[in-house]
Structure 1
Amino acid sequence: MADSTNDAVLYEEPFVITAKDHKKYDRAARLTAISHDNLTKLELDINTELLPISPDDNIEVCVASTLSLDGSADEERGWRDVAKGGIQTLADGYDYVCHGKVYKFEDGKAAKTLKVYASFGGLLMALEGPDAKLTPLRVDSVYLCIKT
Structure 2
Amino acid sequence: MSESILLDEIFTVTSVDKQKYQRVSRITGTSAQNDMGLTLDINSQLYPLEQDATFSLQLASNLNSQELKDAADYIMYGKVYRVEEAKDDKISVFISFGGLLMSIEGSHRKLYRLSLEHVYLLLRR
Q: Same fold (TM over 0.5)?
A: yes
- Select which of 2, 11, 31 maps to 1:15: 11
| 1:60 maps to amino acid | S
1:28 and 2:24 correspond: yes
- TM-score (normalised: structure 2): 0.97
| Per-residue deviation, 1:111 | 1.5
| SS at 2:112 equivalent | helix
* Residue 58 of structure 1, CA deviation: 0.2
Which one-letter code corresponds to 2:63 in the other structure?
Answer: L
Match for 1:113 among 90, 96, 106?
90
Which secondary structure does the structure 2 equivalent of 1:137 belong to? coil
What SS does the corresponding residue of 1:111 show, helix, strand or coil? coil
Runs of 4+ in 1 over 4 A off after TM superposition: none
TM-aligned CA deviation for residue 147 of structure 1: 0.4
2:73 aligned partner = 95
CA distance in 2, matches of 1:133, 1:8: 15
Q: Is contact 1:113–1:130 with CA below 8 Å preserved after alignment? A: yes
Contact 1:67–1:89 (CA under 8 A) maintained in structure 2: no
Distance in 2 (alpha carbons) for counterparts of 1:91 and 1:130: 27
- Tell me how far 1:25 sits from its aligned partner: 0.3
Task: Return 5+ residue gaps in structure 1 as ranges.
Answer: 70-87
Q: CA–CA distance in 2 between the matches of 1:98 and 1:115?
A: 19
Equivalent residue, structure 2, for 1:49: 45
Give aligned-pair identity as a percent: 39
- On the 8 A contact 2:27/2:39 being kept in 1, the answer is yes
- Corresponding residue of 1:38: 34
The whole-number CA distance in structure 2 between the counterparts of 1:39 and 1:112 is: 12
Give the count of matched residue pairs.
Answer: 125
What SS is found at the alignment partner of 2:69? helix
Counterpart amino acid of 1:137?
L
Q: Work out whether residues 107 and 114 of structure 1, in 8 Å CA contact, stay in contact via their aligned partners in 2.
A: yes
| 1:147 aligns to 2:98 (yes or no) | no
Over the aligned positions, Cα root-mean-square deviation in angstroms equals 0.9
Gaps of 5+ in 2: none
2:99 paired residue number? 122
Deviation at 1:89, TM superposition (A): 4.4
